[in-house]
Amino acid sequence: MNDISESPRPQISLLGMARFLWRHVLLIGTCVVLGAALLGALSFVLRPMYRSEVVFAPTNGSGGGLGDLGGGSLGGLAALAGVTIGGGGKRSEEFLEYLRSQGFTRGFIERHQLLPVLFARKWDARQGKWKTSDPPTLADGVRKFSKKVRQMSEDRRTGIVTLAIIWSDRDTAAKWANQLLAEADDALRQRAIGEYTRSIDYLTSESTQASVVELRSAIYKAMESELKDAMIARTRDAYAFKVLDPAVARDPDDTDSPNKPLYIALGGVFGLLLGMIVAASRERRAKQTGF
């Protein structure tokens, strides 16, 4: 029975690594400096991007309304009027979904004519037309805005939401962030006023036909609540979103990207790895050739 002996694997120790680095300190050091310098220079060439944030708290709209009056006969009337009974706690979630929805984003891009801004490299500002025969579509603009320009994060514990706009112009980033929230709030306000108006009209019509005193009393109570909510929707400054900290333009040197120190550090690490690979290759070649 033959003994099978395995060739010992080379062991790498900290002392051996230190000696290796010292033997090739000039080569490796040069690679580190060059790598850091190259990526550092690249970070200064890349277009700076700025991040502007508006912090807000979503509300439940006017609250109250028919949702506080229970179901029964009044619930049937509310359903016919197109009013949802209960679920007031979900209004804030609906408001947030509207803010990030494709429909609202599409409308924002159309209202402010942002396609030439979002795809500035394809737009000829002097002639006022696209440079390419296949210009970007509104769907392309919505996709880019949703994925690369607008970011939203929510603190589930406090319910506080941060809406961030990342753009190359710091003033534009702050303006878009504030405009997005203001226009979404106004659109939700107008939608609510329309719903309250339809509900009040329907309840008014039903009150003239109701013969049961209890039902008529419940209808009047619902109308009073709806009128109160409609008044709040028309007069309250913040209907759907209460701004806690509006977006402001960042300082010129306060960029979101590129992160210059990070680029320099990554360049140094890349140079270190490249220098070690080149040094190890040289040592291996020297051992094989005897030089």
Residues 67-123 have pLDDT tens digits of 444 444 444 444 444 444 444 457 888 999 999 999 999 999 999 999 999 999 999
For a pLDDT cut of 90, what percent of the chain falls above it?
A: 37
The angle, 0 to 180 degrees and rounded to 10, between the axes of the packed helices 91-100 and 170-209 is 130
290 band by pLDDT with thresholds 50, 70 and 90: low
For a pLDDT cut of 70, what percent of the chain falls above it?
A: 82
How, if at all, do strands 161-167 and 150-154 pair?
antiparallel
Query: Which of 51-65, 70-84, 150-164, 217-231 holds the top average pLDDT?
Result: 150-164
**What integer is the mean pLDDT of 126-148?**
94
Residues 236-268 have pLDDT tens digits of 888 999 999 999 999 888 887 777 788 788 988
Average pLDDT for the chain: 82
**The token pair that represents 199 in the structure block:** 């509900």
Phi, psi of 33 (to 5 degrees): -65, -45
Q: Which CATH architecture is the domain 50-107+147-245 placed in?
A: 2-Layer Sandwich (3.30)
**What integer is the mean pLDDT of 264-274?**
89
Residue 187 in contact with residue 95, Cβ under 8 Å?
Answer: no
pLDDT at 97: 94
**What integer is the mean pLDDT of 138-160?**
94
**What integer is the mean pLDDT of 18-39?**
86
Residue 1 C-beta-side C-alpha neighbours within 13 Å: 0
pLDDT at 185: 94
- Taking Cα atoms as reference points, which of 14, 15, 24, 19 lies closest to residue 273? 24
pLDDT at 113: 95
* 288 pLDDT higher than 50: yes
**What integer is the mean pLDDT of 149-170?**
94
Name residues whose C-beta falls within 8 Å of residue 253's C-beta, 6 or more positions apart in sequence. none
> Bridge-partner residues for 241, per DSSP?
58
CA distance 25 to 29: 6
Mark residue 219 as left, alpha or beta (left: phi above 0; alpha: psi -120 to 50; beta: remaining): alpha
Q: Find where tokens 């028309």 sit.
A: 234
Residues 223-240 have pLDDT tens digits of 777 778 777 788 788 899
